[in-house]
Structure 1
Amino acid sequence: MNRIDFVSATLPARKRIALVAHDHCKERLLAWAERQKSKLEPHELLATGTTGLLLERRLKLPVECMISGPLGGDQQIGARIAERRIDMLVFFWDPFEPQPHDPDVKALLRVAAVWNIPLAANESSADYLLSSPLLDQAHTLSIPNYASYLADRQTADH
């Protein structure tokens, strides 16, 4: 297996924040977002289908909605992370209830870890993320050097 090198990248001051919640966690996410509305408002918000519609209604803020999580919305969020079009993920998931789309959930968490974006899995960690002084400023982080990885693979294939 090829070794992955890392390069520096910069998260913008205005973050693109994905908000995702399993069905049993939606109300908790909505209440949390309402409480944190002033911190979320300057940023671009994205969410999976139902969660996004509920957030728009509750917060009266624009939310770009993907399709519903079980129909591929988690994968859409993951793709955006890999394309560096999402900077943070707040994902209130239910650790007690198996989901029919558990493989998609695991893939989403994995891609967030691979691309080294800030990830909150519950209300406490989400509060910590939003209280960080880095929230409203540009921030440098390490990400996989995908161009180098592809070049190495092409060399190895020949």
Structure 2
Amino acid sequence: MKIALIAHDKKKADLVNFSIAYQPVLAKHQLYATGTTGQKIIDATGLHIHRFQSGPLGGDQQIGSLIANNDMDIVIFFRDPLTAQPHEPDIIALLRLCDVYCIPLATNMGTAEILIRSLEEGKIKWRNIIHSKTNEKS
């Protein structure tokens, strides 16, 4: 599965700690992250992560592009709901794309844990069916 990891500045430490806790699960999947978040996770865990630009510089949109091409399976985005973000329209667009393409999305630690545990237990296999249908069309 392809998993995007994104966090606002005040939530980066939470996502790093989450990644440390679930490192064995995350290591089995293809990981993508926005710039600074990805580097912090790499430094703390040694996980292999494809890094995009930072969110305000287009990283959210780069991940959104993968979602729009049905090439992302899960998005974990630890948002800071109490701080205004200058690139809020990009964030809303990313969340909207997750809804449009039925991509599981976690915006907080509780939901992220449920998603990762479900992934670990093999309960998100329906994404493999979608990939099979996409490959048949190619």
CA deviation after TM superposition for structure 1 residue 104, in Å: 0.4
Higher relative strand content? 1
Residue 54 of structure 1: aligned partner: 40
**Is 1:94 the equivalent of 2:80?**
yes
- TM-score, scaled to structure 2: 0.88
Q: Alignment identity in percent?
A: 43
Partner of 2:134 in structure 1?
none
Amino acid at match of 1:138: K
Q: Given the two structures, how large is their TM-score scaled by the length of structure 1?
A: 0.77
Distance (Å, rounded) in 2 between the aligned partners of 1:85 and 1:31? 26
Q: Which runs of 5+ in 2 are unaligned?
A: 131-138
Total equivalences in the alignment: 127
How do 1:14-53 residues align onto structure 2 when only pairs under 5 Å count? 15-53=1-39
In structure 1, give the amino acid aligned to 2:14: R
User: How far does the alpha carbon of each residue in 1:80-131 deviate from its partner, in whole angstroms, 9 at most, with x for none?
Assistant: 1111111100000000001000000000000011000111110000000011
SS at match of 1:90: strand
Query: Is 2:65 the counterpart of 1:79?
Result: yes
Residue 134 of structure 1 is matched in structure 2 by 122
> 1:18 and 1:134 mapped to 2: Cα distance?
18
Superposed CA RMSD: 1.4
> What secondary structure does 1:111 align onto?
helix
Shift of 1:57: 1.1
Q: Which residue of 1 aligns with 2:136?
A: none
How many angstroms apart in 1 are the aligned matches of 2:57 and 2:30? 23
SS in 2 for 1:89: strand
Matching of residue 119 in structure 1 with residue 105 in structure 2 = yes
Bigger relative contact order, structure 1 or 2 (CA pairs below 8 A, ≥6 apart) = 1
Residue type matched to 1:105 in 2?
A: I
Give the number of the structure whose alpha-carbon radius of gyration is greater: 1
Name the amino acid aligned to 1:134.
Answer: G
| One-letter amino acid of the counterpart of residue 111, structure 1 | L
Identify, as 1 or 2, the structure richer in helix.
2
Residue 96 of structure 2 is matched in structure 1 by 110
**Structure 1 spans left out of the alignment, 5+ residues:** 1-14, 143-158
